[in-house]
Amino acid sequence: MATMQDVARLARVSVSTVSYVLTGTRPISQATRDKVLAAMAELDYQPNAMARGLASRRSRILGLLLPMDERGLGATETAFVTGAAAAAGAAGYHLVLSPIGVGDLDELRRLASQRMLDGALLMEVQLHDLRVDVLREVGVPLVLIGRTADTTGLSYVDIDFEQTVQEAVGHLVNLGHRRIVYVNHSADTLAEGYGPALRTRDAFTTAMTGHGLEPLMIPAEDSAAGGRAALDTALRQAPDLTAILAMNENAVFGLLGELANRGRSVPDDVSVVSMVTSPQVAELATPALTAMSSPGSAVGRIAIETLLRHLDGGRGEIQQQLLPCALEVRGSSAPPRTADESDTGAGGDQPAPGNEAARRRAATRRRA
C-alpha cells in the first residue's frame, strides 16, 4: 500500500507539500498540485481520512448508534445499515457502527466529547431517548432513524407505522378475516418505550376498531421460542382466530412452526402477514410470507443525506420524513376457511360443487 512518502518521492516534493495538497492548509502552486495528484493516481494512494479532514476540522467519520444484543443483526435491520453505509461512502465518509443504547450514556458522552464523530445516526429509538439529550448537550449533529415522542427541532426518517398497520389490517379484513391477532415485540421492549412497538400497538387498535373488530395484541420475545409461546397465548385468548399480523421476524418463524405442529395450515386455517420485513426474510418461509416490505435501504440512505446537509450548513433545515411499507402478497394469506369447506371433492384439493367460498379462496391463492 502506497504511503505519503512514496507520493512525495515520485512527485519529487517534500512530504509536507503532499500534506498541504491534501489538507489545503497552505497555498500550493497549480503545477506542484498537479504533480502530487498525478503521483497519487499512479500509486493508487488512498489518503488517510483524518488527514483529509484536518483543513475542515472534520474526521470524515459518522457514527451509527445501534444497540446490539445476542440476536445480532437480521436481514431487515441490515438493510438500514447498508443503505446508510453506501450513502456515507459515496460522500467520502466512513460509517462506524457503535453498539450504544440508552444504558451507555457515559460511554456516549466520552465518545462525543472526543470529537471523533462529525455526526451521528440513532437507531432503535425510544420515545424518550436520552442519547438525543447527550448528543445535543455535546453539540454533535444527529439524525434519527425512528422518532421520539417530542420531535421538535429533530430531523428523522422513519417508517410510517400507522399507514403500514392500516394497510396490513385492511388486506386481511378485505379477505374476510374478522378475528385477527397482532404479535408484537416483547413486553420488556414495550415497557422500555421502543417507538415501533408502541406505535404499531396503537395503530393496530385504531385500525381494528375502525373496522368494528376487537383488537388483541400479544407480546413475544424476539426468538422462535417466543413465537411459539405467543401462538399458545393467542389460541387460548382467541381460539377462533383466523389471521395473525406480526412485527417480530425472529418470532414469526416460531409461529409458523407451532401452527404446523398443531395441524393448522397456512393460509388455509390461519393467514399470516409479517410487517416491516425484507423480501429476503419473507421468501425464507414456507409458504412465502405476505409482508409489508420494509424500505430499510431507502431509510438509511435518506438519513445519511439529511445528516450531511446538517454538516454542510451548520444545523441545517430540519427534515422529518415517513416512508410506508409496501404490501407484497405471497402465499401466507388467503380468505378464511368457512364451515362448509370441509365438504370437498374426491381429489381433496378441489372444492365440491356449489362450494363458492372455497372456490374464491382457491382463486385468491392462485393469483397470489
In tens, the pLDDT along 289-314 reads 999 999 999 999 999 999 999 987 75
Q: What percent of the chain has pLDDT over 90?
A: 62
- What is the SS3 assignment for 191? helix
- Could you read off the pLDDT of 112-139 as tens digits, one per residue? 877 788 999 999 999 999 999 999 998 8
Q: Do domains 61-154+296-324 and 161-293+327-337+351-367 have the same CATH topology?
A: yes
Helix (H) / strand (E) element for 62: namely: strand 61-65
3-state secondary structure of 65: strand
Give 355's pLDDT tier (boundaries 50, 70, 90): very low
| Single pTM value for the model | 0.77
Looking at the structure, give the CATH architecture of the domain made up of residues 161-293+327-337+351-367: 3-Layer(aba) Sandwich (3.40)
* C-alpha–C-alpha distance, residues 92 and 69, integer Å: 30
Look up the CATH architecture of domain 4-52: Orthogonal Bundle (1.10)
Question: How does DSSP assign 293-349, residue by residue?
Answer: E--HHHHHHHHHHHHHHHHHTTT----EEEE--EEE--TT--PPP-GGGG-B-TTSS
Sorted by where each begins, the domain ranges of the chain are 4-52, 61-154+296-324, 161-293+327-337+351-367
**Distance in angstroms (rounded) separating the CA atoms of residues 215 and 35:** 71
Question: Which pLDDT does position 48 carry in this prediction?
Answer: 59
- Convert the pLDDT of each residue in 44-80 to its tens digit: 887 655 555 544 456 788 999 998 766 667 788 889 9
| Kind plus residue range of the DSSP H or E element containing 90 | helix 75-90
CATH superfamily entry for domain 61-154+296-324: Response regulator (3.40.50.2300)
Given strand 180-184, what is the order of strands in its sheet? 216-219, 180-184, 243-246, 271-277, 290-293, 326-328
Element (H, E) at 271: strand 271-277
* Chain segment 24-51, per-residue pLDDT in tens: 657 788 889 889 889 988 888 876 555 5
Q: What angle do CA 127, 102, 295 make, to 5 degrees?
A: 55
